[in-house]
A and B are shown apart, each in its own frame.
Chain A
Amino acid sequence: QITLKESGPTLMKPTQTLTLTCTFSGFSLNTNGVGVGWIRQPPGKALEWLALVFWDDDNRYSPSLESRLTVTKDTSKNQVVLIMTNMDPVDTATYYCAHAFRYCSGGTCQVRVFDHWGQGTVVTVS
Chain B
Amino acid sequence: EIVMTQSPATLSVSPGERATLSCRASQSISSKLAWYQQKPGQAPRLLVYGASTRATGIPGRFSGSGSGTEFTLTITSLQSEDFAVYYCQQYYNWPPAITFGQGTRLEIK
Binding site for B on A (CB under 8 A): 37, 39, 46-49, 52, 60-64, 96, 98, 103, 105-106, 110, 112-115, 117-120
* Smallest CB separation, B48 vs chain A (Å): 9
* Smallest CB separation, B93 vs chain A (Å): 10
Residues of chain B with a CB closer than 8 A to A106's CB: 30-31
Cα distance, A65 to B53, chains bound together (Å)? 31
Q: Are A119 and B102 in contact (CB under 8 A)?
A: no
Cα distance, A12 to B91, chains bound together (Å)? 31
Q: Are A96 and B100 in contact (CB under 8 A)?
A: no
- Could you jot down 25 A-B contacts, CB within 8 Å? A46-B100, A46-B101, A46-B102, A46-B103, A47-B38, A47-B44, A47-B103, A49-B97, A49-B99, A49-B100, A61-B97, A63-B95, A63-B97, A98-B43, A106-B31, A110-B32, A110-B91, A112-B91, A112-B98, A113-B34, A114-B36, A114-B44, A115-B46, A117-B44, A117-B45
Cα distance, A64 to B55, chains bound together (Å)? 30
Could you say which of A47, A60, A110, A112 contacts B87, with CB atoms under 8 Å apart?
A47
- Give the residue name and chain of the B residue nearest to A58 (CB): B94
Of B1, B34, B43, chain A has the most CB atoms within 10 Å of the CB of B43
User: How many residues of chain B are within 8 Å of chain A by beta carbon?
Assistant: 29
Residues of chain A with a CB closer than 8 A to B102's CB: 46
* Smallest CB separation, A27 vs chain B (Å): 14
Binding site for A on B (CB under 8 A): 1, 30-32, 34, 36, 38, 43-46, 49-50, 53, 55-56, 87, 89, 91, 94-103
Cα distance, A6 to B30, chains bound together (Å)? 33
* Smallest CB separation, A64 vs chain B (Å): 8
Residues of chain A with a CB closer than 8 A to B89's CB: 47, 49, 113
Q: Are A113 and B46 in contact (CB under 8 A)?
A: yes
Cα distance, A48 to B101, chains bound together (Å)? 9
Q: Are A46 and B31 in contact (CB under 8 A)?
A: no
Cα distance, A106 to B55, chains bound together (Å)? 18
Could you say which of A48, A60, A103 contacts B94, with CB atoms under 8 Å apart?
A60
